[in-house]
Amino acid sequence: MRGPVPRHVAIIMDGNGRWAEKRNLSRAEGHRAGMRALRRTVEACRDLGIEILTVYAFSTENWKRPRDEVDALMDLLGEWIHKEQQELLDNDVQVRVIGFPGPLPPETRRALDDLVKATSRNKGAVLCLALNYGGRREIVEAARRVAEKAARGLLDPATLDEKAFEAELETAGIPEPDLLIRPSGEMRLSNFLLWQIAYTELWFTPVLWPDFQPEHLAEAVEAYRSRDRRYGGLHEDKD
């Protein structure tokens, strides 16, 4: 018996640089091809009935990359917003941003803010962009907020539970991912959604992100539907 389609899919968009190098192109062209893959994937999620797509667009560690590559990524983000905003509006997609966008260029932050505001009333699906995001930092910042509330007498530490802590995370109000996909052949989480994926199903593929097609997403979803999600317990028909 096959299970339902995942409600929330998270993707680590990996392999843009290697894709470009194999074709003797600049890394910026690899990221541009990855941008096209994102558009295909958003459309494929809609077709499959996936309600939420969270993508790892830029990590807190990505600042270590060469300056010209980081600048190109920021320019491409602005280009993507300009090209895709109307499409997102037409398809009733709400955009959310998680992470710590403070260090992003001011024009990029303004464009993101405008996009989030413009799509805030959309109800068809959610596209969550993880930008300047790191799972460890997210947990530390949440712990800091909890500690500050306790110090101000707004929270009794004895009453703190997982639900209350989750309310302080960047993803507050978003259900945990059902399925996490990582292209490019790497088999690690790279500091992505460390709290949220405690019981998320993982699916890895050697396909580089720019080559990721709707059929790859469908393959991942079918693999997910065939799995028995027990959350640490036993299947209902087993002793």
Q: Which residues are catalytic?
A: 14, 62
Residue ranges in 49-173 assigned as alpha helix (H):
67-90, 106-118, 135-151, 162-166
Residue 95 burial by Cβ neighbours in a 10 Å radius (0-12, 13-18, 19+):
buried
Please, which residues have CB within 8 angstroms of residue 202's CB and are 6 or more apart in sequence?
179, 180, 182
- Region for residue 48 given its phi and psi (left: phi exceeds 0; alpha: psi -120 to 50; beta: otherwise): alpha
Name the 3-class secondary structure at 128.
strand
